[in-house]
Amino acid sequence: MSGWFLALAIAEMVVVGVLVVRLARGPSVSDRIVAVNSICTQGALVVLLFAVAADRSGYLDVAIWLASFSYLGGLVWARYLERGLL
Amino acid sequence: MTDIATIILSCWGALFSLTAAVGLIRMPDVYNRIQCSTQLVTFGALPILVAIAVFAGPVSPYGSRALIVAALLLVLAPATSHAVGRSAYLTDVPMWPGSVRDQPRE
């Protein structure tokens, strides 16, 4: 079953590769914020799946931090675009 | 039994992740892309996290962390999508020319 989770992690990396195209091409800053948020979510998933596949519980906290702080970063970016720095 | 449920849930999540990523490439507009990115979370990431929780058991270290991440995503993803869409509208990111209605401007 650990090979299955490793394959899932690689599939999510393929999804990240598709999202990087939008990150590079996005015409506006908001497109890039959306792409970065999605990439961070997929990154947290990949870390979690790799932790299950390799049976290393030390990586789990990395996944929680990635999942929470990527979205907080997106909120901060949106607020900055809307109202300026302060 | 848990193996079959894990495989079904994770295949579902991986397929929807791929379709949502293709949607993020193909959609013509920021606002449509935001809709696709929320689909990436609710239909792509959540089944995979539930699959981890089913495989490892909900009170094991892996399963409990997966459920915590799922709860965080469920709370934070709609809030961030709302904020990003609002800031995109306020900073005059153009809509797709085929859009039929611009409700805040009417």
Distance CA B18, CA B73 (A): 18
Residue to test with chain A: of B55, B87, B89, most A Cβ within 10 A: B87
Among A17-21, A36-40, B45-49, B94-98, the range scoring the smallest mean pLDDT is B94-98
Contact B62, B52 (CB under 8 A): yes
Is B10 in Cβ contact with A4 (below 8 Å)?
yes
Please tell me the predicted confidence (pLDDT) of residue A56: 87
Does the pLDDT of residue B94 top 90, yes or no?
Answer: no
- Kindly report, residue by residue over B47-57, the tens digit of the pLDDT: 999 999 999 88
Position A86 confidence tier, pLDDT thresholds 50, 70, 90 = low
Distance CA B13, CA A19 (A): 16
Q: What is the CA B62 to chain-centroid distance, rounded? A: 21
Which position has the higher pLDDT, B32 or B104?
A: B32
Please tell me the predicted confidence (pLDDT) of residue A67: 87
Q: What is the CA B57 to chain-centroid distance, rounded? A: 24
Is A60 in Cβ contact with B93 (below 8 Å)?
no
Contact A35, A42 (CB under 8 A): no
Distances (CA, A) of A44 to B29, B68, B105: 26, 12, 38
Helix, strand, or coil (residue B104):
helix
Q: What is the CA B81 to chain-centroid distance, rounded? A: 10
